[in-house]
Amino acid sequence: MHSPTVNSPSATPWLKSSQEPVLNIAKTSARHEITKRAPWMFLGLLAGIVMVLLGQKFEIALSQKLEVVFFIPMIVYMSDSIGTETMALFIRELALRRVSLKKLFWRETYVGLFLGVISGVPMGLFSLVWLKDLRLSLTVTIAMIINGLVAVLTGMLTPILFAKFKKDPALGTDEITTAFSDTASLLIYLIVATMILF
């Protein structure tokens, strides 16, 4: 049996088939909203702690080449931006129709790599012009290309998994996508830097 695709007229939108009521912030109480949202905030805090520990793990390497640190905010920001934008697009898609993961996987893989290239290459060139360090430029470029792919796939899979388990994608998907893409982007950047620069 074929799974319903985005073009299938019989595919039921996820929000209409969900077993979990969607949080309506216009009608719910502040206490209820806090109860629903607060647990997911702790995931963000956990991700922050992991990132701090990652920085400590690579402390010696970072201290040997401080320039690597300069690009961490941009690396994390671009990954977060790509991931959350993808997530928002897929939540909207799930609200309108069901999607075929198999059909979209390879397309989104291409999109992620392309977004990684168009963000990584300019940043790599900027670092080369600024710091005159070819290996650092390659590090930034390669890390951002990989992170573009990881961020898109994370932003796609998170709301789809929520839909599969009949959960409200407006609650938790942003925190999960941000936490995973931020942590993964930093880890990937530091691993690539270690392999190329040290």
Whether the model pTM is above 0.85: no
Task: Return the CATH number of the domain spanning residue range 14-197.
Answer: 1.10.357.20
- Position 11 pLDDT exceeds 80: no
Q: What is the pLDDT of residue 76?
A: 96
pLDDT one-digit tens code per residue, 66-96:
999 999 999 999 999 999 999 988 888 777 7
Domain ranges of the chain: 14-197
- The C-alpha atoms of residue 122 and residue 162 are separated, in whole angstroms, by 35
Q: Which residues contact 140 (CB under 8 A, 6 or more apart)?
A: 71, 75, 120, 123, 124, 127, 189
